[in-house]
Chains A and B, each alone.
Chain A
Amino acid sequence: MGAAAAGAVLVLSVVAVLAVVYLLLGDYLYKVYTGTRHSAAERLVYRVIGVRPDAEQPWAVYARALLAFSAVSVLVVYGLQRLQDRLVLGLGRPPVPAHVAWNTAVSFVTNTNWQAYPGETVMGHLVQMAALAVQNFVSAAVGMAVAVALVRGFARRQADTIGNFWVDLVRGTFRVLLPIAFVAALVLVAGGVVQNLASPHEVTTLTGGTQAITGGPVASQEAIKELGTNGGGFYNANSAHPLENPAGWTNWLQIVLLLAIPVALPRTFGRMVGQVRQGHAILAVMTVIALVSVLLTNVFEVAGGATVPRAAGAALEGKEVRFGVPGSATFAAATTLTSTGATDSAHDSFTPLGGMMTMLNMMLGEVAPGGAGSGLYGILVLAVITVFVAGLMVGRTPEYLGKKIGSREIKLASLYFLVTPALVLAGTAAAMGNRAGLAAMLNGGPHGLSEILYAFTSAANNNGSAFGGISAGTPWWCVALGLCMAFGRFLPIVFILALAGSLARQAPVPVSAGTLPTHRLQFVGMVAGVTVVLVALTFLPALALAPLAEGLS
Chain B
Amino acid sequence: MSTSSRRAGRKNGGRIGGGLLDPRQLVRSLPDALRKLNPATLWRNPVMFIVEVGAFLTTGLAIANPSVFAWAIVVWLWLTVLFATLAEAVAEGRGKAQAATLRAAKRDTMARRLADPHDPARWDVVGAQELRQGDHVVVEAGEIIPGDGDVVEGIASVDESAITGESAPVIRESGGDRSAVTGGTKVLSDRIIVRITQKPGESFIDRMIALVEGADRQKTPNEIALNILLAALTIIFLIATVTMQPLAIYSKANNPGVPDTTALGADGVSGVVLVSLLVCLIPTTIGALLSAIGIAGMDRLVQRNVLAMSGRAVEAAGDVTTLLLDKTGTITLGNRQASQFVPAEGVAELDLATAAQLASLADETPEGRSIVVHAKHAYDLRERRPGELAHAEWIPFTAQTRMSGVNVDGRQVRKGAATSVMKWVRDNGGHPTAGVGHLVDGISASGGTPLVVGEVSSGTARVLGVIHLKDVVKQGMRERFDEMRRMGIRTVMITGDNPMTARAIAREAGVDDFLAEATPEDKLALIRKEQEGGRLVAMTGDGTNDAPALAQADVGVAMNTGTSAAKEAGNMVDLDSNPTKLIEIVEIGKQLLITRGALTTFSVANDIAKYFAIIPAMFAALYPGLDALNVMRLHSPQSAILSAVIFNALVIVALIPLALRGVRYRPSSAPKLLSRNLSVYGLGGIVVPFLGIKLIDLFVQFLPGMS
Chain B residues whose C-beta falls within 8 Å of the C-beta of A445 in the assembled complex: 254
* Contact with B243, one of A429, A508, A516, A526 (Cβ below 8 angstroms): A429
Chain B residue, CB-CB nearest to A426: B243
* Contact with A545, one of B605, B619, B673 (Cβ below 8 angstroms): B619
Chain B residue, CB-CB nearest to A438: B250
How many pairs, one residue from A and one from B, have CB atoms within 8 Å of each other in the complex?
A: 215
Q: Shortest distance in angstroms between A446's beta carbon and chain B's nearest beta carbon?
A: 7
Chain B residues whose C-beta falls within 8 Å of the C-beta of A396 in the assembled complex: 318-319, 590, 593, 670
A201-209, A234-242, A457-465, A534-542 - the one binding chain B: A534-542
A36-44, A138-146, A333-341, A415-423 - the one binding chain B: A415-423
Does A553 count as interface, using CB distance less than 8 angstroms? yes
Q: A390 near B243 (CB under 8 angstroms)?
A: no
Does A414 count as interface, using CB distance less than 8 angstroms? yes
In the bound assembly, the distance between CA atoms of A539 and B671 in angstroms comes to 31
* Contact with A428, one of B228, B243, B590, B598 (Cβ below 8 angstroms): B243
In the bound assembly, the distance between CA atoms of A426 and B486 in angstroms comes to 49
A5-13, A66-74, A399-407 - the one binding chain B: A399-407
In the bound assembly, the distance between CA atoms of A239 and B333 in angstroms comes to 80
**CB-CB under 8 A for A549 and B623, given A397-B221, A540-B615, A544-B615:** yes
Chain A residue, CB-CB nearest to B601: A389
Q: B675 near A522 (CB under 8 angstroms)?
A: yes
Q: Which of the listed residues A433, A509, A549 has the most CB atoms from chain B within 10 Å of its own CB?
A: A549
Q: A397 near B318 (CB under 8 angstroms)?
A: yes
Q: Which residues 337-362 of B sit at the A interface, judged by CB distance below 8 A? A: none
Chain A residues whose C-beta falls within 8 Å of the C-beta of B67 in the assembled complex: none
Interface string of A229-261 (1 = CB under 8 A from B): 000000000000000000000000000000000
In the bound assembly, the distance between CA atoms of A517 and B242 in angstroms comes to 39
Does A513 count as interface, using CB distance less than 8 angstroms? yes
In the bound assembly, the distance between CA atoms of A444 and B256 in angstroms comes to 13
* Contact with B281, one of A393, A405, A537, A546 (Cβ below 8 angstroms): A537
Q: A395 near B665 (CB under 8 angstroms)?
A: yes
* Contact with A507, one of B249, B251, B534, B611 (Cβ below 8 angstroms): B534
Chain B residues whose C-beta falls within 8 Å of the C-beta of A402 in the assembled complex: 534
**CB-CB under 8 A for A395 and B590, given A425-B240, A539-B240:** yes
Q: Shortest distance in angstroms between A301's beta carbon and chain B's nearest beta carbon?
A: 19
In the bound assembly, the distance between CA atoms of A513 and B681 in angstroms comes to 22
Q: B598 near A393 (CB under 8 angstroms)?
A: yes
Chain A residues whose C-beta falls within 8 Å of the C-beta of B247 in the assembled complex: 428-429, 432, 449, 541-542, 545-546
Interface string of B591-605 (1 = CB under 8 A from A): 101101110110011
Q: Which residues 463-481 of B sit at the A interface, judged by CB distance below 8 A? A: none
Interface string of A509-530 (1 = CB under 8 A from B): 1101111110010100010000
Chain A residue, CB-CB nearest to B535: A510
Interface SS majority for chain B: helix
Chain B residue, CB-CB nearest to A551: B625
Interface string of A444-485 (1 = CB under 8 A from B): 111011000000000000000000000000000000000000
Chain A residues whose C-beta falls within 8 Å of the C-beta of B370 in the assembled complex: none
Chain A residue, CB-CB nearest to B281: A537
In the bound assembly, the distance between CA atoms of A510 and B601 in angstroms comes to 26
Q: Which residues 190-236 of B sit at the A interface, judged by CB distance below 8 A? A: 221-222, 224-226, 228-229, 231-232, 235-236
**CB-CB under 8 A for A426 and B239, given A393-B597, A513-B670:** yes
Chain B residue, CB-CB nearest to A513: B488
Does B245 count as interface, using CB distance less than 8 angstroms? yes
Does A60 count as interface, using CB distance less than 8 angstroms? no
Chain A residue, CB-CB nearest to B530: A510
Q: Which residues 648-684 of B sit at the A interface, judged by CB distance below 8 A? A: 665, 669-671, 673-675, 677-678, 681
Q: B625 near A552 (CB under 8 angstroms)?
A: yes
Does B624 count as interface, using CB distance less than 8 angstroms? yes
Interface SS majority for chain A: helix
Does A321 count as interface, using CB distance less than 8 angstroms? no
* Contact with A425, one of B225, B243, B534 (Cβ below 8 angstroms): B243
* Contact with B244, one of A388, A411, A541 (Cβ below 8 angstroms): A541
Does B248 count as interface, using CB distance less than 8 angstroms? yes
Does B703 count as interface, using CB distance less than 8 angstroms? no
* Contact with A512, one of B488, B590, B608, B677 (Cβ below 8 angstroms): B488
In the bound assembly, the distance between CA atoms of A526 and B683 in angstroms comes to 12
**CB-CB under 8 A for A421 and B240, given A393-B601, A552-B626, A553-B624:** yes
Q: Which residues 609-639 of B sit at the A interface, judged by CB distance below 8 A? A: 611, 615, 619, 622-626, 628-629
Does B533 count as interface, using CB distance less than 8 angstroms? yes
**CB-CB under 8 A for A541 and B236, given A407-B221, A407-B224, A444-B254:** no
* Contact with B251, one of A533, A538, A545, A551 (Cβ below 8 angstroms): A545
Chain B residues whose C-beta falls within 8 Å of the C-beta of A393 in the assembled complex: 594, 597-598, 601, 673-674, 677-678, 681
Chain A residue, CB-CB nearest to B248: A545
Chain B residues whose C-beta falls within 8 Å of the C-beta of A515 in the assembled complex: 488, 670
Chain B residues whose C-beta falls within 8 Å of the C-beta of A91 in the assembled complex: none
Q: A537 near B597 (CB under 8 angstroms)?
A: no
In the bound assembly, the distance between CA atoms of A551 and B628 in angstroms comes to 11
Does B71 count as interface, using CB distance less than 8 angstroms? no
* Contact with B600, one of A392, A409, A507 (Cβ below 8 angstroms): A392
Q: B241 near A410 (CB under 8 angstroms)?
A: no
Does B369 count as interface, using CB distance less than 8 angstroms? no
Q: Which of the listed residues A407, A410, A514, A539 has the most CB atoms from chain B within 10 Å of its own CB?
A: A514
Q: B626 near A548 (CB under 8 angstroms)?
A: yes
Does A391 count as interface, using CB distance less than 8 angstroms? yes
Q: Which of the listed residues A388, A389, A444, A546 has the most CB atoms from chain B within 10 Å of its own CB?
A: A389
Q: B239 near A421 (CB under 8 angstroms)?
A: yes
Chain A residues whose C-beta falls within 8 Å of the C-beta of B222 in the assembled complex: 392, 397, 406
Does B39 count as interface, using CB distance less than 8 angstroms? no
Does A385 count as interface, using CB distance less than 8 angstroms? yes
Does A394 count as interface, using CB distance less than 8 angstroms? yes
Q: Which of the listed residues A397, A406, A411 has the most CB atoms from chain B within 10 Å of its own CB?
A: A397
In the bound assembly, the distance between CA atoms of A224 and B222 in angstroms comes to 44
* Contact with A513, one of B236, B485, B607 (Cβ below 8 angstroms): B485
Does B246 count as interface, using CB distance less than 8 angstroms? yes
Q: A392 near B597 (CB under 8 angstroms)?
A: yes
Q: B615 near A538 (CB under 8 angstroms)?
A: no
Q: B229 near A388 (CB under 8 angstroms)?
A: yes
Chain B residues whose C-beta falls within 8 Å of the C-beta of A422 in the assembled complex: 235-236, 239
Chain A residues whose C-beta falls within 8 Å of the C-beta of B622 in the assembled complex: 549
Q: A407 near B674 (CB under 8 angstroms)?
A: no
Does B237 count as interface, using CB distance less than 8 angstroms? yes
In the bound assembly, the distance between CA atoms of A25 and B608 in angstroms comes to 39
Q: Which of the listed residues B485, B490, B593, B622 has the most CB atoms from chain A within 10 Å of its own CB?
A: B593
For the complex of A and B, the 8 pairs showing the least CB-CB separation, nearest first, are A514-B488, A392-B597, A395-B590, A512-B488, A552-B625, A414-B232, A429-B243, A513-B488
12 of the cross-chain contacts (CB-CB < 8 Å) are A392-B593, A393-B598, A407-B225, A430-B246, A509-B534, A510-B533, A512-B488, A516-B670, A541-B241, A545-B247, A545-B251, A549-B251
Q: Known A-B contacts: A514-B487, A516-B671, A545-B244. Give 12 more (CB < 8 A).
A: A389-B597, A389-B600, A392-B593, A393-B598, A394-B670, A433-B249, A446-B623, A509-B534, A513-B486, A540-B615, A541-B277, A545-B247
Interface residues of A (CB under 8 A from B): 385, 388-397, 402, 405-407, 409-411, 414-415, 417-418, 421-422, 425-426, 428-430, 432-433, 438, 444-446, 448-449, 507-510, 512-517, 520, 522, 526, 533, 536-542, 544-546, 548-549, 551-553
